Amino acid sequence: MWKRNRFFKLSIMAKKQKYYVVWRGSEPGVYESWSDCEKQIKGVAGARFKSFESRTLAEQAFRLGPDAGMALVERATQGEPLLSVDEHGMTAVRKDFNGPKPEMNALAVDAACSGNPGVMEYQGVYVASRTQVFHFKAPKGTNNIGEFLAIVHGLAYLKKNRVDMIIYSDSVNAINWVRAKQCRTKLPLTPDTAKLYEIIHRAEAWLHNNSYTTEIRKWDTDHWGEIPADFGRK
């Protein structure tokens, strides 16, 4: 009897519920069985999916997108506390936080750098839908340069398309550089960075030659979680 009960308990443990997130597939979403998940990714080139131990974690990862979602898995496996998520995928450090929330109708920008200097990229993301609006990548740069260029790119994009919304950045340095109309980087000008410097000079020239009414705000990472344009590589 003891052996049979022990086998029964082990069988229950082996059938622990898993939840499957499909970020890129026929119908992205959260699924409760592998067979349902497999239907969404079968035959889809570049499909992105991952299994999770809880629905809460799966839904949070789905809202964050594949890169940030995978980073969330890494934090969870290392025992870091996970933050609660609202219907927009925003996070709050304290459950009782009643402060101002971010504007949904806004453009968020952020940069990432593999090494500093290293391969640099930045992107602009519409906050409400987490849709990528623009993206740029350079073979060599710094994170601060990327943050600066991302804001200027956002300003130019909104003005060109006559869109009235604020821009969020989580970089105080980049915001100050944009207001000063100067990229105050110390990255040496070399053959490897010459093309990037051309882009920097064009961005500075745009700031000097254009006026704009767009408001640039600091993203409140402490209370809202990572900025929607985050690449999830921290």
- Amino acid making up residue 55: R
Q: What is the pLDDT of residue 12?
A: 43
Q: What is the pLDDT of residue 17?
A: 83
Pairwise CA distance, residues 17 & 13, whole Å: 9
Q: pTM for this structure?
A: 0.64
- CB burial of 98-135 (b: ≥16 within 10 Å; e: otherwise) equals eeeebeeebbbbbbbbeeebeebbbbbbbbeebeebee
172-211, pLDDT tens digit by residue?
Answer: 999 999 999 999 999 999 999 999 999 999 999 999 999 9
Q: What is the average per-residue pLDDT within 129-147?
A: 91
pLDDT level of residue 25 (50, 70, 90 thresholds): very high
Residue 73 pLDDT more than 50? yes
5-16, pLDDT tens digit by residue?
Answer: 554 444 444 557
